[in-house]
Structure 1
C-alpha cells in the first residue's frame, strides 16, 4: 500500500504558501452548527422578525408620495435619520438568508426590494430615499448650496451616511441573496447620484464630505465591480475624503478628536479602490490606519473611542471615566476593514485582532435572550450597558447590530486556488462545491482547547489544509488520524498539512491557553485579564441599572444610572509578579480573584461589571487612594447637580440636543471639543422636573458679551456672572429651552466647549 506523503510547515506571514490570492467563502457554504455564535445568530433572527418591514419602509413611501401601509418607527427613524435602519435591515436579511436559508427572511427581503423599486419608479429619476424633505435637500446640494459640519449638512442629519446604508443594503441583497431587482435599483440610484454631483467642483465635493458619509466611496467601487463601468470607479475616487486620506498616506496619525466611526468606513473604501486601481499608496494608508487604531487606540475587547471620538493615544483616562465607552459600530467596521486587509495582503496577523473583537465585543453586544443590541460598552469599573428593544430603539448600533450576528461564517474558513485555510475554531460545516470537499469542525472552544475536523471528498484529492496558529495558542499540536505531526511552531501563522486527503480523514488541533494581564495602550497602570483570546471580567452589582432596556427617548442608548466612584473599584496591589498568581481556576473559563469571580466578558449581562483593574505597589496605592478619592468626590458632585449637559462639537451630544447652525465650524484643541459660529447656532436643553436654575457655558477663548449674544427661547438671556472663559446665565422655568448663540457683527464667536444646566 502506497503511503501518503505528509508535508507540514508553518509560515508566519503566509506569503510562502502560494502566490494565489486568498478568498473568502460565500456565506451559503458555511453553516454554524452550535456554540455561542450559533445561539447569537438564532437570537438575532428572532429580533429581525420582530421588526415590521412596512414601518421601516414608511420614510421611503413618504418621500415618494405613496400611501403608507404602516406608520414609521419613532426614535431616530422619526427625528432626522429616517430610513437608515431599512438599509441595514436589507443587509441583515440578505446575509441571514445566505447563512441560514430561512424562507421568511427571503420573503421579507424580496418584498422590501419591490417596494423600494416602486418608490424609485414613482420618483422617476432614479432616486429613492427616506431622508426628510429629501428632494428639497438634494436639490440644494445639486445647486452648490453647501453648509456642512461633521454631522449636519444644510441642517440635515448625516444625509450621505443615511443613503449609504441603502446603497449597501441594495448591494448586499444582490450579492448575498441574488435579488436581481436590487441590482437594478442600485444602478438607478448610483446614476442619479452621479448626475446630482456632476455640477460640483472637487472642492465642493470635499466640502460635502466634511459631513459623516459612511462608506459612500466603497459602494461606488462596488458598482464598478458589478458593471465594469469606469464612471463608478471614478466617482468612488471623487467621493474619497482627502482630509483623512492625505495624512494617512504620509503615515501621520491625526485621528485624535475625530469622530471614530466617521473615519473607518472611508478607509474601507480606500482599500477597496486600491485593490481595483493598484494605488498602493492608498492601500498603505489603509494599513497605517488599521495599525494605528488596532494597536494604539483599541482596548482589550477590540473596541475604540470614548463618546464616539478617538481619544489621545497617550491618555485613556477619559474612556475610563465615561459611561460612553467604545461604540459597537466602530468594531463592526473595523472587522470589515480587517477582513479586507487579510484577504488582500494574505496576512493572518489581521485575524488576531478580528478574532479578539469578534468574541469579546461583537458577541457581547447582543442580549443572549432578548436580543437587544448595545451602543456603548463602558470600561469604567462598576458600570453597565443598555440594550435596545425592537419597538423603541432605532440607533445606528441597532442597524449594525442586526448585521453583526448574521455573518459569523464569513472568515471561519478561506481558500486560495487549491488550498483550504481554517482561521477560527467555531463549530461549523464547510462545503467547497468547486472542489467537492466538505469539512466538519466540531469544537467547544473556548471552553475546551481542541478542535476536531473531519473531511468528506468526492474522491481522494491532494491539497494543503492550513490551520491557523493564533499568537495566544501555546503548545500547539496537530494530529492527522491520531498521529502527531512534527511542526516548527511560530505564532500568527498557519500550520500546513499537504497530503492526499480522503473521506473520513480526521485532523485534530490541540493547544493550551494561559491568563495574561494586558495594559491599556497609553502605558498607564490599568490592565485587563485575557485568557487566550477571551477577555475576563467580574459581575459586581445588579443595582441601579436605570434604563437597562431602552425606551424610545432620544438618548435612550445611554445609561442613566449613577456612576460608582472609581476609588471604590477593586485594585491589584503588589507587584507584577504577583498580580496573575492571585487568580485561581474554578471551572473552565471561571476564575476566582479574591472576592470577585472572573468569567468571559461576553457572558456578562444585566449587571454592572469590572473589566479593567488598576495595578499598584502598596506604597503607590496608599499615595494614590487619597488623591483619587478627592477627585472622584468633586467629579460626582458636579455630575449630581447637572440636569443636562452638551459637549459642543461632539456629534452625538449635539444631535441629542437638536443642534442647528449656520456658518459654524468645530474642532478639537487642548483635549477638548469645541464649536463656534460666524452667524448663529442653537441647542435644545431639557430641564427635567424644572430643577435647572443656571446655564454654565465654557469656552476655549475669552467670552465677551460685546462679541456674542445669548438668547433662551428667543429672549435675551440674563448673565449672572462671567469669568474670562466661562459665563453663567439665568434660565427660565420651562421643561425645554432653546439656547441660541449669536455672533455679533458676523465676527467668529469664541470656541464654545461645554454647556451645562445645573440646579
Structure 2
C-alpha cells in the first residue's frame, strides 16, 4: 500500500496540477473530525475549528500580545466592573454589584486572548472568573446576577442579555479543555429558558434585539449533544426575537452590526432561503443609507440618524468587533466569500484606528474622515455629547470591555474545516493551523504572508504521511486574476465559480503552495455622498497621510488618556486623471521587513503617491469636528501638490473620502459656510429632513417627483418641529416654506398644517419670533413670513398637524 501511495505522489509531480473554482465549499458530505451542524439543521459548508487549532503568527499574534499587555489585559486593574470582590458574577447566589454585560464582554476576549497567546496570568484569572460563574447556577438553571433574573432593568422580567454573552467564553473553555460541566450547565440553563412564559421570554430591550446571540449558543449546544428539545427552544427564540425580517427594529449602531444576522441564523433550521435574504436585505439597506463611505461600515454615532450620512459620521468600536463576528458566522453558514471579504475590510481598514497602536487606549467613535481626536463635545454633528473621540483606557464602558474579542475571534476563523474532511483558508494572515483531514491524519499548514499589505500567501504542508484531502482557498472578490502554484508548478484553474478555489490532491511532507492575489488600484465614487471618492488597492483602502501630535490628557501616568492633533494640512481635493482615475497614483513599498505593528502612521508599509489641491474653505467646525464634504468636483485655485496616502488602518487621523478637483463647467465652489444641520421631531430613515434645503422647487404642492420631507401620517393632531442649525450665528428676519398638499381626495396623503410658527434659540431657550407678518399656508407656492430680526444659530418651524401628515418641499431662510 505504501508503495502505491508513493507511486501516486511521483505521478502527481509530473501531472498538471489543477483547482476547481466554486461559489461555495460543499454542503454535502460530512466532516468526521469537527462538530458542524447536525441534521436536521442545514449543513454548514465551513466548520469552526476548536480554539487553539489556529495559531496566529507575525503581526496578528502581535495584536494579541498587545491586547494582553494593553488595557484589555489589565481591566481588573483599570475597570471597576472587573473587580472580583463583591461582583455579582462571582457570588453563589448572584448578589452583589456590576452584574450586567461588562464582565461577560471582557471575558469573551480575555479568555481567548490568554489561550491563544499562552499567557498564564490571563488564563489563571479568566478561569477563576469562569469557575465562579459555573458555581453561580441556581436550582432553576439560571446563573449569574440576581438582579438580571429579577429583571431590575427590564420591568420585572428576566434579563437574559448578559448571560448570552457569558456563554461565549464558556464555550471557548469547553473547546479548549473538554470540561463536561459546561455542557450540563448550558443544558440546565436552557431548560430554565424553556420554563419561562412566552410573555416573559425576550420581551424587549437588548435581549429582544440581540436574541441571535442566544440562538447561536442554542445551536452550538444542539450540535454538541443532539438533544432535539433545543430546536424547539430555537424556534421559540426566533419567534420572540425582534423582527429583523420585514423591518429594522432598532437603528442603534451595535444592534445593527450584531443583530441583522438573526434571520440568516434561523435559516439553518428552516432551510428557507428567504430568511437568509432577509439578513442580506437589512445589511444592504443599512449600507445603502448610511454606508456610502469607505471602511466597510456605516455612520451611526450611537444611532443612525436621518440625514447624517456623510464620511464624518462615525461608528462605535463595539460595532466593528460585532460585525466582524457576524461576518465570520455568516461565512460559516453560507459559504459565501463576500462575508469574509467584508470581515477583512473592517478588520484591516476601520478596526485598528479604534485603539492606539500600543492598544493601551481606545475611543468610542471612529469615522472615515476624522482630523482631530480630542475631548471636546462634537454634538450635534455626532449624536452623543461629551468626549467620544479621545483615546482613554478608562472610558467608553461597553467598548472598553467588548473590544478585546475582535482580534482573537478573527484569528480563530482564519482556517475552518470543510465537508469531505478537508480544510479551508478563509481569512488571510500569518498563522499556523493543525487539523485532522481525510481519515484522521493531523496535518500542519504554516501560512507565511504579509497580507493584506502583500499580495502573496505561502503555505507549507507538514504531514506524517501522504494524505489525500481538499484544500480550499478563498479568492477575494476584489481579485480578478488569482494564481496558484504548487512546488513551483502552475495550477490550472477550472470552472466558473467565484469565491473559492479547491485543490484536491494527495499532499506530502514539504509540499508548498503559493497563492498570488494581484491587487490593482481602484477608485470608488460615492455618488450618494456628494461624489466623494475613496482609493483602494486589494483589501486596503487608503487615507491621506496626516502628521500626528499626541498629547497626554487625563488617565494616569501608567494608563494615560491621549488626544491627537494634525500637524500637516488635511483639506485636499484629489487631482484625478478623468480617463484613468486609477492611473493617478504611484505605489511605493517600504523595503523593510513588515513591522510587528503595521497599523501605525510611522510603520505603514505602503503608500500611494498622489496629487491634490487644497480647499481653503474646508475647515474644522468650531468644536474641532471635520467640516462636512461638499459636492464634487470642486473648483480651487490652490496649486497642485504631491500628497501621500497610507492604508486607512494605519491612520488615526484620516481623510479617506476625498473631494475631487475639477475646473470645468460642472465644478462647484466650496462654500465658506459649513453646511447646516437639519433635525426633526420625527423623521424616517428613508425620508430625511435634509431634502428641504436641496434647492429643488416643486412644480406644485402635490408634486410626487420632487423629494419632500414629511412627518408620519399616523401622528395626526400632533405638534412637530423641524430645526436648522448653523455653526456661526445668522441674522434672520424672514423665512419661506413650500408646503406639500396631496389634496383631499388622497386618503393617505399629506395636508397643509393646521397651524405653524417660527421660533428661535436665544442661547438658553426657544422663543417665538416677534412682529410676524402672519402665518399663511399656501398651496402651490412659498408661504412667506417676516418678523423682527433675530441673531441665532438655531431656528425651528413648529407645526400643528391636521388630518394626515404634514410635508415640506423646501425651506428658505434668506440672510
Provide TM-score, normalisation by structure 2.
Answer: 0.65
Change (3 A) 1:387 1:227: farther
RMSD: 5.0
In the TM superposition, what whole-angstrom CA distance separates every residue of 1:603-630 from its partner, at most 9, and x where no partner exists? 123xx321110225323675x224x323
The residue aligned with 1:284 is 277
Distance 1:115 1:58 in 2: 13
Taking the TM superposition and a 5 Å limit, the aligned residue runs for 1:295-374 are 298=291, 299-310=293-304, 318-320=308-310, 322=312, 324-374=313-363
Distance 1:671 1:173 in 2: 53
Distance 1:675 1:14 in 2: 46
Change (3 A) 1:12 1:290: farther
Q: CA deviation at 1:193?
A: 4.3
> Quick check: which one's helix share is greater?
1
In the TM superposition, what whole-angstrom CA distance separates every residue of 1:640-672 from its partner, at most 9, and x where no partner exists? xxxxx999999xxxxxxxxxxxxxxxxxx9599
2:463 corresponds, among 457, 466, 470, to 457
The residue aligned with 1:598 is 645
The residue aligned with 1:234 is 232
The residue aligned with 1:113 is 130
The residue aligned with 1:40 is 63
Distance 1:232 1:522 in 2: 45
The residue aligned with 2:431 is 428
Contact 1:256 1:311 in 2 (8 A): no
Q: Residue 330 of structure 1 aligns to a residue in which SS?
A: helix
Q: Within the alignment, does 1:128 sit opposite 2:144 as a pair?
A: yes
- Gaps of at least 5 residues in structure 2 are 1-6, 31-44, 374-387, 591-605, 612-641, 685-707, 718-749, 757-764, 776-805, 808-815
Change (3 A) 1:535 1:456: same
Contact 2:299 2:308 in 1 (8 A): no
Contact 1:382 1:610 in 2 (8 A): yes
How many aligned residue pairs are there? 626
Change (3 A) 1:124 1:386: same
Q: CA deviation at 1:583?
A: 1.9
Q: Residue 301 of structure 1 aligns to a residue in which SS?
A: coil
Q: Residue 645 of structure 2 aligns to a residue in which SS?
A: strand
**Which range moves more in the overlay, 393-402 or 209-218?**
209-218
Change (3 A) 1:171 1:512: closer
In the TM superposition, what whole-angstrom CA distance separates every residue of 1:578-598 from its partner, at most 9, and x where no partner exists? 543332333342122234211
Change (3 A) 1:573 1:482: closer
Distance 1:560 1:410 in 2: 33
In the TM superposition, what whole-angstrom CA distance separates every residue of 1:381-413 from its partner, at most 9, and x where no partner exists? 5344846544x1253223331100212323322
The residue aligned with 1:23 is 47
Distance 2:754 2:169 in 1: 47
Change (3 A) 1:615 1:137: closer
Distance 1:41 1:357 in 2: 17
The residue aligned with 1:89 is 106
Q: Residue 61 of structure 2 aligns to a residue in which SS?
A: helix
Contact 2:212 2:265 in 1 (8 A): no
Distance 1:222 1:106 in 2: 23
1:617 corresponds, among 646, 650, 662, to 662
Change (3 A) 1:18 1:349: farther
In the TM superposition, what whole-angstrom CA distance separates every residue of 1:300-328 from its partner, at most 9, and x where no partner exists? 2211232233467xxxx723264x41233
Q: CA deviation at 1:364?
A: 3.5
Q: CA deviation at 1:127?
A: 4.0
Contact 1:261 1:329 in 2 (8 A): yes
Change (3 A) 1:94 1:271: farther
Distance 1:18 1:320 in 2: 44
Distance 1:22 1:343 in 2: 5
1:506 corresponds, among 492, 512, 516, to 512
Contact 1:527 1:612 in 2 (8 A): yes
Q: CA deviation at 1:30?
A: 1.0
2:408 corresponds, among 387, 395, 406, to 406
- Gaps of at least 5 residues in structure 1 are 143-158, 249-253, 639-644, 651-668, 679-699, 706-716, 725-749, 752-759
Change (3 A) 1:199 1:110: same
In the TM superposition, what whole-angstrom CA distance separates every residue of 1:107-159 from its partner, at most 9, and x where no partner exists? 122210222344445x98734227589554567237xxxxxxxxxxxxxxxx5
Change (3 A) 1:302 1:648: same
Larger radius of gyration: 2
Contact 2:107 2:126 in 1 (8 A): yes
Q: Residue 237 of structure 1 aligns to a residue in which SS?
A: helix
Contact 2:92 2:132 in 1 (8 A): no
The residue aligned with 2:165 is 165
Contact 2:299 2:367 in 1 (8 A): no
The residue aligned with 2:81 is 56
Q: Within the alignment, does 1:273 sit opposite 2:249 as a pair?
A: no
Distance 1:295 1:648 in 2: 21
